């Protein structure tokens, strides 16, 4: 498992270096401080953990999605 994770991180870092639009979001330690049950099956997250995951992803990309209003040539 650890060897696979290392290779995954290496591949992700390669993607970031190859594209200025790519971003690595490391969620490896997301569940360490989660006080509730995180998984209801080996691959299924509980509703509470899905919410925590969504929040972590949002925080990681929110600034990239922010846009500033711009005029499209209209004279005001």
Say what the pLDDT of residue 11 is.
92
16-28 pLDDT per residue, tens: 999 888 888 888 8
Largest CA distance in the chain: 60
Alpha-carbon distances, residue 56 vs 7, 20, 68 (angstroms): 23, 21, 23
Tokens linked to 11: 């591949």
- Mean pLDDT for the chain overall: 85
DSSP classification of residue 33:
T
Domain ranges, ordered by start, for the chain: 24-64
Which residues in the chain show pLDDT less than 70? 1-2, 74-76
Prediction pTM value: 0.65
- d(CA 59, CA 25) in angstroms, rounded, equals 10
């Amino acid at each position: 498992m650890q060897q696979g994770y290392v290779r995954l991180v290496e591949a992700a870092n390669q993607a970031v270096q190859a594209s200025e639009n790519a971003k690595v979001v490391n969620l490896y330690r997301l569940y360490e401080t989660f006080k509730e049950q995180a998984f209801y099956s080996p691959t299924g997250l509980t509703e509470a953990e899905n919410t925590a995951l969504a929040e972590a992803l949002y925080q990681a990309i929110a600034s990239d999605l922010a846009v500033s209003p711009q005029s499209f040539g209209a004279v005001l």
